[in-house]
Amino acid sequence: MDSTEVVNPATGGVLRAVPSNGPAETDAAIERAQRAFPAWRQMAPGDRARLLRRFAAVVDDHIEELAELEVRNAGHTIGNARWEAGNVRDVLDYYAGAPERLSGRQIPVPGGLDVTIHEPLGVVGIIVPWNFPMPIAGWGFAPALAAGNTVVLKPAELTPLTAIRLGELALEAGLPQDVFTVLPGKGSVVGQRFVTHPAVRKVCFTGSTEVGKSIMAGCADQVKRVTLELGGKSANIVFADADLERAAATAPGGVFDNAGQDCCARSRLLVQESVYERFLSLLEPAVKAFRVQDPSLDTAEMGPLISAAHRDKVASYTGEAEVAFTGEAPAGDGWWFPPTVLLARSSSDRHWREEVFGPVLSVMPFADEAEAIELANDTEYGLSGSIWTRDLGRALRMARAVETGNLSVNSHSSVRYWTPFGGMKQSGLGRELGPDALLSFTDVKNVFIATDS
């Protein structure tokens, strides 16, 4: 079996080599998951729930281990990594309540009794990106398992280590063999087999819009269900009546968190023109104070980019643009890049239109609500965004008008496991998290029972 070297992005050093599954190994794992499915779906709902709670408890016992592993593998700050491991635990706990509450309906009909039943699909294939390896894995496997499906999960080639460990912890918690399987390997091999193998009844993919389109097209051949969470180019809209000091102080975290490698990053900053210059003067010290440090330090707010190739891609956007100001970043080994603020002179500027996926913020003024809406919606993406205003009516008007799946008012929060998450337009298809995510891992079966003699 081939292997892939996993690198620490903060140092450039090799952590370890991870075996890459080929077509034969992938097929064998999918077929084992298919054989494990009948017993898992038929398990008493309370017993399935108990195993998921136990899985959550085992993850909780290993929070620090998982966090430290993610710091080394993905370059996440230790604070973020602890939250991410805790999110896996919380999502498992949340969906552990689902098996005993996965209720259908009784629908009034003449001549009999009509009921609906939520049936699990079978084997679910989950393809996880490198930017948030732990939480995005959990958003897929927790509801899928709770609904009675078995899961095969492919981590990103760059960041497989925490997924591999979660697979081990699932077995330690008592999940039956082959109910949850982690399959490291290439997307063109393992991920593509999820798309083409007839036993995989649904694919969950998080990643680029380009790859998401190809997965959707491939799944169409078998009318296979998909959930897609794709790119973003989210707007942070600041009105003149907002708390400008707070909006400026929080803007760096809204875009530079995880080194900007976040589909929800508020990478387009729209500021009402009457306060534009003042806001930039408030933003500059906040950007310069943003701490880009060794991610293992508790004080770090941002770590390195994931790879040298990705750093070069991000740099290509700043070399051709007008730089307003930058923050600081370590020199030397690792894939470091400073927080950077660019001035957008036109909505056709490349850095304004394309998803940079790095610590780069593009700024543009606007005149009024109408122009803010036009600029915010002038993109193929629609994943997240923020609106800063003290006017409740304006906040509601803007929230209805901006074409995006997740919006925050006077906040940069995008993800809460209690609420739906997903995109509009080319940012994706379907919703993860929240009370309804479980249903996307089931088919609704309608049963009519005649009562007429």
Asked if 287 and 341 touch (Cβ cutoff 8 Å), the reply is: yes
Unique residue bearing structure tokens 């690792």: 334
Residue tagged active-site, from 204, 219, 263, 264: 263
Nearest Cα neighbor of 139 from 431, 439, 442 is: 431
Q: Please confirm, yes or no, whether 263 is among the known catalytic residues.
A: yes
Q: Please confirm, yes or no, whether 204 is among the known catalytic residues.
A: no
Asked if 409 and 387 touch (Cβ cutoff 8 Å), the reply is: yes
Amino acid, single-letter form, for residue 315: A
Residues sharing a CB contact under 8 Å with residue 374, sequence separation 6 or more, in sequence order: none
* Distance, CA of 452 to CA of 32 (rounded, Å): 44
Residue tagged active-site, from 229, 301, 355, 432: 229
450: left (phi over 0), alpha (psi -120 to 50) or beta: beta
The 3-class SS string of 295-330 reads: CCCCCCCECCCCCHHHHHHHHHHHCCCEEEEECCCC
For residues 400, 401, 404, 410, the Cα torsion angle rounded to the nearest 10 degrees is -70
Q: Give the chain's largest Cα–Cα span.
A: 83
* Distance, CA of 265 to CA of 263 (rounded, Å): 6
Q: Which residues are catalytic?
A: 229, 263
